Structure 1
Amino acid sequence: MYRDNKRFTSERGNVLATLLKGGDSAAGKMLAVTDGRRHRELRNLLLKAFAPRVPEPVVEGVKRRADQLVREGVARGDCDFAQDIAERIPMATIADLLGVPEADREYLLSLTKEALSAEDAGQSADDALVARPAGSP
């Protein structure tokens, strides 16, 4: 399956709810929803950020962030691990690598969640479309 991207492709999307409705408007534009040559091209652009000298500060940032988020949850006396901690670490790490300002990170996380899945009962399909890359149907 890994090597057969003709029959097992990500290019129509990779989120079940989206696939059931006929495809992903971001397919072919984001690394996670590309295959073959396009996937290699996008991946090669990102490789510089993950060169051998880069991971050490990234790992330290993940450890520091995880510790901070757990401490905040304990201090509140209430914590949904998936929402309050686990979903924030990957996005914050990517934001660190890309130099995204702190003030924009919550908005970036909300756009990512809207683009990939509808988890709020009141979220419309239009909300997900707005969060997708420009030019996506």
Structure 2
Amino acid sequence: MIKGFREFILRGNVIDLAVAVVIGAAFTAVVTAIVTGIFNPLIAALFNAEQLNDAFEVQIGDSTLKFGLVLGAIIQFLLVAVVVYFVFVLPINHLKKVSFFKSKQSPAEESVAEAPPTDLELLAEIRDLLAAQQRGAVVPNVSNQAPAGPPWPNE
């Protein structure tokens, strides 16, 4: 029961989904407050604007390009990324290394250990079996062995 729960919790898509939900719900208000309350006023003070959204405005005809608004969004994104990495990704990676969460064999190791034979190996085995049957010989166990030479008589 615990093994099944551990495998469920450590699935990549479950962790990704949890991180996405937390980013979207819990940290949006905190990060917005940090950007609006700290970074916007600092950058706006540097460029003599009331807030970051008003900084770096370029007037082109009747339109206004607001580069400060883009800068604020980039800062907010970077803050979210820092929080997610240090609060979620780093601790979860550490927990995966702890023996309680470690599985006996990782999925990558299992796939290497149980790798199916290649097409060439299967064809060589089929060729050897057919040749042995034609000669009336006892069919040897030739799996994972390289063919010794042409199995057909008179060649």
TM-score past 0.5 threshold: no
Bigger Rg over Cα: 2
Higher RCO by CA contacts (8 Å cutoff, separation 6 or greater):
1
TM-score for both structures, normalised by structure 1:
0.28
From the two aligned structures, give the one with the greater strand fraction: 2
TM-score for both structures, normalised by structure 2:
0.25
